[in-house]
Structure 1
Amino acid sequence: MRHKKWYVHLREKFWFIPTIYSIFSFLTILLFSYLISLAPNTFYVEAPSMLLITSSTANSLYSALVTALLTMTSISFSSVMVVLTTYSTQFTPRALQDFMQSRITQHVLGVFTFGFIFAVINLLLVSPADTNHLFMPIVMITIAIICLGAFILFIYHSTKYVQVNHLIGKIRNDASRVIEDAYDLPHLTAYAEWDEPFPEDDPHIVYAHRSGYTQLLELENIVAWAEKHDVIIESLMEVGDYLHKGEPIFQYWPGSADPDLEVLRDCLLVGNERSNAQDIEFSMQKLVDIAIRAISPSVNDPHTALNCINRLAALLAEISIRHKSHRYFTDDNGRLRFILYPKPFRTYLHRSFFQIRMYGKNDVSIIGGCIDALTIVAQTGKDTVQDDLGSFFEYMKEAIKAEELSSWDYEYWQERLQKFESVLYN
C-alpha cells in the first residue's frame, strides 16, 4: 500500500510539520552564522553603505518583524477556529481533519514558526559591538516577505475551504485516491477463490491491546510475517471498525514456529478516529453527512445535497470498476498466508444512500437525484453490479408514494424511473 503506518500516524499530529520547520530554523541560523564568520572584514568596507545596518536598526527591525509574525500567526489561528466551527455546525465534523491535515495549513503555520524563531534568535544574537550588519537583516527581510506571501495564501486557502462546493469536490477527489490505493496491490498476489483445504486445527486468537478505530492494515508486512513464521492468518475485523480492548482481531493456524504476536499487532494501526488512508466508507460518509445536513429543515439546501449525491454516484462507479473480491493473499511461493474479507459493493451502495433516503423521503427531488445517481452507476460502472443496482432501485422507489404526488412531481418522478430502467434493462 502507498500509506505506511508511520506516515498515517505522523500525518495526524498537527505539531509535526511546524516542529520540522523549527529545527530547520535553528540549522539555518547556524549555517548563516558560520558563513558570516568566514566573510573578510574588507567585504563590509566594500559593500554599499545603504545595505549596512547598525545594531540599533537591526534590533528595531527584528522586534518589528517578531511582532508582525506573531500578529499573522494569531490571525491564522483565528481563521483556523472559524473554519473548524463552520465545518462542525454547517458541514460535518468528520471533515475537520481534512483541513487540519491539509499540506497548505500545516506548511503555512510551519513557515510562521520558522520566521518567528529565526527573528527571535537573531534578536538575541545582535551584539552592540558589531557596528554594521549585512547578511542576517537581508535574510530576515526575505523571510518576512515569504511569511507575508504564506499569510496571503492561507487566507485564500481558508476562504476556499469554507465554500461547500470546494469542500465537496476535495472530499470526492480524496475518496477517489483512497479507492485507487485500496484496490491497487502491485506487490501482492490475491485470489477470489481458494481450492486447497484449510487447516482443521483449532485456530489461535490474537486480541486487541487497545480500543479505537482500525485505520490501516499493512498487508505486505502481514503476508511477510506469516511467511516468516509459516502460518495462515485470517482477519476478524475490517478497516474502519471500532475495536474494544481484548476483542479478537486475528486468528491464525500455527506452523512449526511460535510466532511473535506483537509484530503482527504492529501491522495494524488503531487510532482515536477513523482515517482516510484505507477507509473508503469513511471518505464517502463525509459526503453523506453534508447531504443530510443540507436537506435538514434548519439548512434547507437541496442543491448542495444533490451535489453530494452526484459525487457519491461517481465514487460508486469507480468502486464498481475497481472492486475485486480478492480475499486470499499468498506469498511468493503461492502458499496461502492471509485471509481478508473485502466489503461487497452492495455495502457501499447501501451506506451511501440509506440515510439520505430516510431523511429525504418526503422530497421527490432528493430521491429522484438518488435514482439519477443509480442511473449514472449503471451507465458507467461494471455489469457485475447490475443485480445490486436493480434491487436497490426497488428499495429507493419505496421512499416515494407516487399516488400522493402532484401531476408535475409525478411526471418528474416517472421520468427518473423510466430512465433508470431503460439503462439497466436494455
Structure 2
Amino acid sequence: MGDWMTTGGLREGRRPRALSPWREHLRDTFWFAPTAAMVLVFVVWAVATGIDTAIVDALREERDYDTLDDMLRLADDAKAVVTVVSSAMMTFIGVVFSISLVAVQMASGQFSPRVVRIFVRSRITKATFAVFLSTFLLSLLVLTSYEGQAEARYVTSIPLVQSVLTLTMLGLSLLLFVLYVNQTLRLMRISHVIDRITREAFKAVARMPVGRTTGEEEALGPETARVVHHGRAGVLRDVDIARLVRAARQEGVVLRLIPRIGDFVVPGTPLFAVHGGPAPAGRSLSRTVSVGVERTFHQDFAFGLRQLSDIGLRALSAAINDPTTAVQAIDRIVQFLAAVAGRPLDTALHRDRRGNVRLVQPVPGWTELVDLGFAEIRGCAVGTPQVTRRLVAGLDDLVVIAPADRREPLLRHRALLVEAVERSVSEASDRAFALRPDRQGIG
C-alpha cells in the first residue's frame, strides 16, 4: 500500500469542510444571486417609500409647503432620469451578456470546456447581473410611486429618497460594469485562465490531509460489509467527512471509501467498505455523498491538473496549433507537481476525537499525478520542439526536486519522450535541438 495521510487541511487537525449539494448547486447557477437581489430590492423600496411618506407627512404637519414645492420639482427632474434608466437598462443587460456568452463560447472552444465553470462561478459576473436587474426593477417600482399632477398640500408621497436610491444603484451598476468587463477580458487571456486554475488547485492541495502514519492497513481488520450507491448516476464530487467519521464512531467501525473523488458512479456501485462490524444505518449515511454532473475542486485536487492537461492538449491539436499555450500549461503542471512532490499521497486517514481511524479515503498517488500531467501532452508533443524542450526541462527540474523514491515515473516519461523524438525526427541535429532542456521552450 502507498503512503498514508492523517487529517489536516489548512490547519493541523482541521478537516476539510464538506460541500452540501445545495451550496455547490448555487455556486454553479445564475438564478440565486439575481433572485435574492430582486427580493432585497422590494424590501429596500418598501423602506424608502415609508421614509418618503414620513418626510411628506412631517412637512405637511408643519405646513412647510415651500419645501414641498421644491421637493416636487426635484422629484420631477429625478423622474426623467429614472424613466431613461428603466427604458435603457434592460437593453443594456441584453447586449452586454449576449457579448459575454459569445466570449465564453470562444474560450470554451479554444481552451477547454471545463474552463466555462470559471465564468459561471465568477462572483463579479453574478454581482453585475444581480445589480443590473435590481436597478431595472427598482426604477420600475419608483415610477409607480410618482403621483399625477398635484399641489404640494395634497400630495401624499414624493419618491425623492427612492429616486436617489435608483441613481445610487445606477452608479453601482456602472462601477460593476467596468469591473466585469475587466475580468471578462482577463479570463479570455489564457495566462489568466491557467493562473486561476492553478490557484484553485493549490487551494485544494491546502485542504489535503497532512502527516504520515505507518502500520494502519493491518489495523483496519477484515472487511465485514459494503454500502452501495442508491442515488443518481454522476461524478462523486464530495463526501461529508465529519458525518462519516461520526457514523463510523457510533458503530465502532472503520469506513473505507472505495471510489475516488472525481470517479463516475452509478446506482449499485459500491461506495464504502466497512471494517470491524456492521454497516452504519442508512439514515446515518444519508446525504454524506454529493454526486453531480461535473467534478469540483473541493476535495479533488487532481481536477486542476486535469484541466491544465486538457488545455495543453487542445493547444497542440491541429485545429488550434498553439505550442506556446501548451508550454504555459506545462509550466503550471511542473509547478503543481513540485508542490506535492514531498507530500504523502495515495490514501487519507480521518480520525475521531480520540485519534482512532474512522474513515479511509483514497487520493491520487504520485505516479498517477505524473501520468496525468505528462502522458497525453508527451504523446502529442513529438514534432513540436518548443514543447519537447519544455517537457525535458520540466522533468529534469522535478527529478531534482522529488524524493529519490518518486523519481522513477519522471525518468520513465523522459525516456519515453527521448525515444519518441528519436524515432520521429530523422536528423541528428534536429533531435538534439528538440531534446535540449529549455524552460521557455524556444525562448
2:82 matches 1:62: yes
Structure 1's 182 and 12: CA in aligned 2 closer, same or farther, altered over 3 A? farther
- What is the Cα deviation at residue 413 of structure 1? 3.9
Q: The residue matched to 1:388 in structure 2 has which SS?
A: helix
SS of residue paired to 2:207: helix
Which of residues 119, 122, 125 in structure 1 aligns to 2:145?
125
Structure 1 residues 363 and 112: CA distance shift in structure 2, 3 A: same
**3-state SS in 2 of match to 1:328:** strand
Q: Does the 8 Å CA contact 2:374/2:413 hold for their aligned counterparts? A: no
Task: Please state whether the residue corresponding to 2:261 is helix, strand or coil.
Answer: coil
Distance 2:300 2:119 in 1: 18
Match of 1:8 among 24, 29, 32: 24
Q: Is the 8 A contact 1:232 1:336 kept in 2?
A: yes
- Give the corresponding residue for 1:299: 320
| 1:394 and 2:420 aligned | no
Q: Which residue, out of 208, 225, 233, partners 2:255?
A: 233
Does 2:271 align with 1:249?
Answer: yes
Conservation of the 8 A alpha-carbon contact between 2:34 and 2:126: yes
Distance 2:73 2:215 in 1: 76
Q: Which letter maps to 1:247?
A: T
Pairs within 5 Å for 1:194-209 = 194=216, 197-200=219-222, 202-209=224-231
Distance 1:328 1:277, change over 3 A: closer
* Structural mapping, 1:26-175, within 5 Å: 26-39=42-55, 40-41=58-59, 52-53=72-73, 57-128=77-148, 130=155, 132-175=158-201
Q: Contact 1:191–1:326 (CA<8 Å) still a contact in 2?
A: no
| 1:284 maps to 2:305 | yes
Task: Verify the 8 A CA contact 2:338 2:401 in the aligned structure 1.
Answer: yes
Deviation (angstroms), 1:414: 4.7
Give the Cα–Cα distance (whole angstroms) in 2 for the partners of residues 105 and 3 of structure 1: 25
Residue in structure 1 matching 2:246, options 217, 224, 228: 224
The answer as to whether partners of 2:75 and 2:160 remain within 8 angstroms in 1 is no
1:321 aligns with 2:342: yes
Q: CA deviation at 1:321?
A: 3.2
SS at match of 1:226: helix
**Contact 1:76 1:151 (8 Å CA) reproduced:** no
Amino acid in the other structure paired with 2:348 = R
Percent identity reads 22
Deviation at 1:407, TM superposition (A): 4.8
The reply to whether residue 369 of structure 1 matches residue 378 of structure 2 is no
CA contact (8 A) 1:294 1:305 kept: yes
Give the number of equivalent residue pairs: 413
Please report the RMSD computed on the Cα atoms of aligned residues, expressed in angstroms: 2.8
Deviations 1:209-242 (A, max 9, x none): 2100011122222112211232221111010001
**What are structure 1's unaligned runs of at least 5 residues?**
420-426
Matches of 1:375 and 1:72, distance apart in 2: 53
Separation in structure 2 between the aligned mates of residue 210 and residue 231 of structure 1, nearest angstrom: 27
| Cα offsets for 1:385-422 (capped at 9, x unmatched) | 223322332233222116835354333345339x9xxx
User: 189-198 vs 245-254, which deviates more?
Assistant: 189-198
How much does 1:326 deviate?
4.4
Question: Is the 1:402–1:410 Cα contact (8 Å) retained in structure 2?
Answer: no
* Aligned-partner Cα distance in 2 for 1:233–1:214: 17
Of 245-254 and 64-73, the range deviating more from structure 2:
245-254
Other structure's SS at 1:273 match: coil
Rounded Cα–Cα distance in structure 2 between residues aligned with 1:153 and 1:108: 9
Q: Which amino acid aligns with 2:329?
A: C
Query: How far did 1:163 drift?
Result: 1.4
- Report the CA distance between 1:261 and its aligned residue: 1.9
Q: Which has the higher contact order (CA 8 A, sep 6+)?
A: 2
In the aligned structure 2, how far is the partner of 1:58 from the partner of 1:201?
74
After alignment, is 398-407 or 61-70 more displaced?
A: 398-407
Q: CA deviation at 1:45?
A: 5.4
Contact 1:364–1:413 (8 Å) recurs in 2: yes
Does residue 1:267 correspond to 2:285, yes or no? no
Distance 1:357 1:271 in 2: 31
Deviations 1:103-145 (A, max 9, x none): 1111111111221221122222323254744211112111111
Aligned residue for 2:237, secondary structure, equals strand
Give the direction of change, closer, same or farther, for the CA distance of 1:211–1:192 in structure 2 (3 Å limit).
farther
Matched, 1:210 2:248: no
- Measure how far apart 1:347 and its partner are: 0.4
Superposed CA offset, 1:356-404 (max 9, x none)? 1222222232222112121232344445422332233223322211683
Q: Rate the CA distance shift 1:224–1:9 in 2: closer, same or farther, 3 A.
A: farther
| Distance in 2 between residues matched to 1:411 and 1:190, nearest whole Å | 42
Higher mean displacement: 49-58 or 141-150: 49-58
Residue type of the alignment partner of 1:140: T
Provide the TM-score with structure 2 as the length reference.
0.84
TM-score (norm 1): 0.87
Q: 2:43, 2:80 → 1: CA distance? A: 24
Deviation for aligned residue 1:177: 1.4
Distance 2:214 2:83 in 1: 66
